[in-house]
């Protein structure tokens, strides 16, 4: 059986598809897992995550432009667009490695313009990939779609693993820098990580370059070209390899009550409002009072929890709405606790205790994992819909994410609800 499966596929094409998939979100994920280091030097400080979340929302312009392009341009060439996206994505991250700490003054305030503008390019690639990269895999046997999706999942895992190795050097220290005859003065010192953000971004840029070269290989290496399939003139589903059963079927017998339909879409919108909008924007306020190490572990481990939770889709084929509702209820409670910790900054409960540090990391892992599970479950339930269920799921995702990002951006930047923490604050107050 194993020999037959291997005979039906070419390992080289699997590797090329996997590496191609890594290029989808590795740029955005790479920048995001550097936040524990970037917030220490960026002029936005702890507000930097809120700016990043908004940048990702703006990058949803990519799918809109692509949709318009396909509708009005008869000679649309997806292959050329993908070349351009992966190429410019790789170049942008390479440039970022040298200018990520460069700032500009706008209306009298300093901003990380280089970091945010180049992140927009990386986000543009990621946001466009679902409507461009994934459909492009229709050109190959269906068995290679799994390899692409594994690569897309690794675009979050690999940066997180490398960031864990990089570390943050430890928690910040308050150093007395008072000069003789002057007032007491303290300065926060941050230990150095094992290697710099510049080295990290060069690695991420190289991954994007490797993804670009893999896509070149998919289109030009003879072994890969032979694995292509001829698409039917009109198709709504992915092509099926004749030697293997289809990965999913659409059926006209699918049915769902209007109440359940609306309930699931609202659940998806709320999940994305929290997971893609509100919580990432306030992550620094909920974690940094417990130390740099806690924040670092939270960002990296939570980035892994979401994709891992989505893997449960291989075992839970048709999750019950009652199960999703139960998980959603637990997730709402945990999200409220995370929000409460952020509001209590700079002195949240259990600060300066190992249990507090452990608790905040665990909370974020659970919230991220539950968010991933809920998204997977709702998508699975709508997948057999012969109508526009998956389309409306995407709409709910974007609406929830946008409302959450905009709301929190205003709260973080234009109110005093969230306060930053410094280890020198107590000493200065005394």
What are the pLDDT digits (tens) for 315-366?
676 788 899 999 999 999 999 999 999 999 888 998 888 999 999 999 999 9
Q: What is the CATH number of the domain that holds 25?
A: 1.20.1250
201 and 78 within one domain: yes
CB 404 within 8 A of CB 280: no
429 and 338 within one domain: yes
Confidence of residue 99 (pLDDT cuts 50, 70, 90): very high
242 and 367 within one domain: no
Confidence of residue 141 (pLDDT cuts 50, 70, 90): confident
SS3 call for 398: helix
CB 294 within 8 A of CB 360: yes
Q: Is residue 187 part of a domain?
A: no
243 and 335 within one domain: no
Residues 6+ apart with CB under 8 A from 11: none
User: Considering its fold, how many domains does the chain have in total?
Assistant: 2
Does pLDDT of 192 surpass 90?
Answer: no
Alpha-carbon distance of 266 to 279, in angstroms, equals 18
Burial status of residue 343 (CB atoms within 10 A of its CB: 0-12, 13-18, 19 or more)? middle
Q: Is residue 3 part of a domain?
A: yes
Radius of gyration from C-alpha coordinates of the chain: 23
126 and 155 within one domain: yes
Alpha-carbon distance of 423 to 171, in angstroms, equals 10
267 and 162 within one domain: no
- Helix 143-166 vs helix 292-310: crossing angle, to nearest 10: 170
The whole-number pLDDT of residue 231 equals 58
**Best mean pLDDT range from 167-176, 292-301, 361-370:** 361-370
Q: Is residue 5 part of a domain?
A: yes
Q: Is residue 229 part of a domain?
A: yes
Low-confidence winner among 95-104, 156-165, 246-255 (lowest mean pLDDT): 246-255
Query: What is this structure's pTM?
Result: 0.81
Q: Is residue 188 part of a domain?
A: no
Q: Is residue 178 part of a domain?
A: no
**Kind and range of the H or E run holding 206:** helix 197-220
429 and 284 within one domain: yes
Alpha-carbon distance of 228 to 218, in angstroms, equals 9
User: β-pairing, 173-176 with 186-189?
Assistant: antiparallel
228: DSSP letter: B
Distances (CA, A) of 167 to 13, 14, 288: 34, 32, 15
237 and 286 within one domain: no
241 and 156 within one domain: yes
Q: Is residue 176 part of a domain?
A: no
Alpha-carbon distance of 248 to 72, in angstroms, equals 31
Distances (CA, A) of 138 to 11, 133, 173, 316, 422: 18, 10, 54, 25, 52
CB 41 within 8 A of CB 101: yes
Q: Is residue 175 part of a domain?
A: no
Six-digit token pair at 307? 């994709």
* Parent domain of 203: 1-170+196-247
Percentage above 90 pLDDT, the chain = 33
Span 259-269, average pLDDT:
91
224 and 145 within one domain: yes
What is the Cα 144 distance to its own chain's centre? 23
How many CB atoms are closer than 10 A to CB 364? Answer: 26
Span 304-313, average pLDDT:
76
Does pLDDT of 7 surpass 60?
Answer: no
- Helix 354-382 vs helix 292-310: crossing angle, to nearest 10: 20
Six-digit token pair at 87? 């190429």
Residues 6+ apart with CB under 8 A from 69: 76
341 and 210 within one domain: no
User: β-pairing, 104-106 with 109-111?
Assistant: antiparallel
Alpha-carbon distance of 165 to 183, in angstroms, equals 40
Angle at 133 between CA 129 and CA 136, to 5 degrees: 155
For the chain, the straight-line distance linking the first and the last C-alpha, in angstroms and rounded, comes to: 73
106: DSSP letter: E
263 and 155 within one domain: no
């Amino acid at each position: 059986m194993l020999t037959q499966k291997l005979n039906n596929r070419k390992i080289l094409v699997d590797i090329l598809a996997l590496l191609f998939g890594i290029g989808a979100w590795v740029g955005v994920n790479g920048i995001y897992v550097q936040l524990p280091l970037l917030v220490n030097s960026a002029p936005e400080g702890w507000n930097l995550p809120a700016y990043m979340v908004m940048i990702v929302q703006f990058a949803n312009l990519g799918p809109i432009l692509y949709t318009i392009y396909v509708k009005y341009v008869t000679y649309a060439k997806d292959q050329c667009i993908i070349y351009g996206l992966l190429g410019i994505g790789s170049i942008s991250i390479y440039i970022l490695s040298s200018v990520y700490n460069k700032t500009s003054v706008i209306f009298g305030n300093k901003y990380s313009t280089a970091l945010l503008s180049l992140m927009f390019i990386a986000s543009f690639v990621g946001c466009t990939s679902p409507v461009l990269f994934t459909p492009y895999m229709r050109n190959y046997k269906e068995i290679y779609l799994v390899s692409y999706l594994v690569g897309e999942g690794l675009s979050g895992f690999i940066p997180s693993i490398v960031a864990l190795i990089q570390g943050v050097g430890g928690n910040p220290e308050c150093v007395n820098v008072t000069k003789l005859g002057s007032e007491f003065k303290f300065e926060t010192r941050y230990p150095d990580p094992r290697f710099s953000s510049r080295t990290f971004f060069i690695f991420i840029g190289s991954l994007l370059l490797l993804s670009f070269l893999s896509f070149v290989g998919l289109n030009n290496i003879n072994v890969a070209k032979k694995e292509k399939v001829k698409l039917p003139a009109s198709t709504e589903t992915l092509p099926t390899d004749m030697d293997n059963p289809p990965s999913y079927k659409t059926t006209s017998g699918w049915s769902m009550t209007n109440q359940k339909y609306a309930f699931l879409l609202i659940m998806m919108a709320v999940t994305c409002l929290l997971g893609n909008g509100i919580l990432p924007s306030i992550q620094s306020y909920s974690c940094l009072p417990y130390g740099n190490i806690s924040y670092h572990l939270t960002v990296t481990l939570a980035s892994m929890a979401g994709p891992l939770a989505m893997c449960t889709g291989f075992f839970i084929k048709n999750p019950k709405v009652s199960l999703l509702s139960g998980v959603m209820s637990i997730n709402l409670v945990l999200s409220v606790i995370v929000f409460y910790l952020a509001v209590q900054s700079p002195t949240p409960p259990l600060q300066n205790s190992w249990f507090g540090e452990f608790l905040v990391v665990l909370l974020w892992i659970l919230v991220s994992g539950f968010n991933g599970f809920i998204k997977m479950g709702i998508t699975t339930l709508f997948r057999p819909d012969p109508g526009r269920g998956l389309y409306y799921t995407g709409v709910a995702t974007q609406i929830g994410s946008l409302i959450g990002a905009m709301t929190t951006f205003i709260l973080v930047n234009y109110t005093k609800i969230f306060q930053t923490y410094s280890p020198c604050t107590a000493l200065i107050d005394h």
